[in-house]
Amino acid sequence: ACATSPFIGRVGRQRREGNVSLLSFGINPNGIAEAGTTSDWSQALSSMLPFVVAATAVAALAQPSTFTWVSKQLYAPALGGIMLSIGIQLSVDDFALAFKRPVPLSVGFIAQYVLKPALGVLIARAFGMSQMFYAGFVLTSCVAGAQLSSYASFLSKGDVALSILLTSSTTIASVLVTPLLTGLLLGSVVPVDAVAMSKSILQVVLVPVTLGLVLNTYAKPVATVLRPVMPFVAMICTSMCIGSPLAINRSQILSTEGLRLVLPVLTFHAVAFTVGYLVSRIPILRLEEEVSRTISLCTGMQSSTLAGLLATQFLGSSQAVPPACSVVAMAIMGLYLAAFWGSGSRIRDLPSLLMP
């Protein structure tokens, strides 16, 4: 995504105009130059998200009244705003591209919905996690990839097209896969209404994404007006979804049990990034370094805001604490990893960097 010369890649179209490099999907190439300012504005807002996440966490714990006004009824509209910001970036052509890249998409999908849920259960049991947070922690490992992973892939010089397709496909598949996984992994711990959970995901995920896709396909003038604003909307909605459970459960988070949650969350994301990268580096798959970076970031960064909404609706407010902590951890860790790769460093060089 950071090539220095124009080319037509395996997926999408890459053009470089001055100091701006843009990737288009089903977009008129002649309009790319005019989109430069909008793209810069959107990327600038996206780059602020980790700082907004960190500030939200601090404000919610230091001054709970900042976010206690956010009721449970506002979670669904807030998450819908985040999902609309994804859908309005997509076109029908983007999904057609998925059939041309079955191997990397399949590897990313397996890492997201097979390896990571298993990892969540193993880490929760290994750390002897309290029942107060266990179900919410496992649920966090069963949701789709986060939209922020696409921006992280851009920073890491990874495969941005693959990241967008993988995030979109796992988000749509979450309507069926997330309730199924949650029922299988938590059915013996807490009662899970998989049908009701599917309906909830359908309302807050599939409907907004489809609406954005329809606007971008059949009402392009409207989508053109909304698109620059959506990163800001997503930022506000993300802050609401993070701050509310942290503020409401402040006493539990700052208790001994709550502080013990920090290490499992950090371990989960660190191992998820590592597993995603190592699986994609299996020689028989013959995946490129850029693809491996993208799969790693998509595996380690998941839509914890969706997990928080589902936990609040179906598992109890205290179970929304692990997803809220996960948002903070995955945003900071994922973007630091992206910056590490973006600076030209490679995982294989770590031993020599640590022990020159």
* Per-residue model confidence as pLDDT tens for the chain (356 residues): 344 333 334 444 444 444 443 444 444 444 444 445 555 556 666 667 677 778 888 888 888 888 888 777 777 787 778 778 777 877 777 667 666 778 888 999 999 999 999 999 999 999 988 888 888 899 888 888 877 777 777 778 788 778 877 887 888 888 888 888 888 888 755 566 667 767 777 777 778 878 888 888 888 888 888 888 887 887 788 788 778 777 877 877 777 777 888 899 999 999 999 999 999 989 888 888 888 999 999 999 888 777 877 887 777 777 878 888 888 888 888 878 887 887 766 666 655 555 65
What backbone phi and psi angles, to 5 degrees, belong to 127? -90, 0
Please state the pTM of the whole predicted model. 0.70
Query: Do the Cβ atoms of 275 and 299 come closer than 8 Å?
Result: yes
Q: The tokens of 192 are what?
A: 């899970």
Across 80-95, b (16+ Cβ under 10 Å) vs e yields bbbbbbbbbbbbeebb
Angle at 268 between CA 209 and CA 107, to 5 degrees: 55
Separation between Cα atoms, residue 209 and residue 207, nearest integer Å: 6
In this structure, whether the domain defined by 72-343 belongs to CATH 3.40.50.150 is answered with no
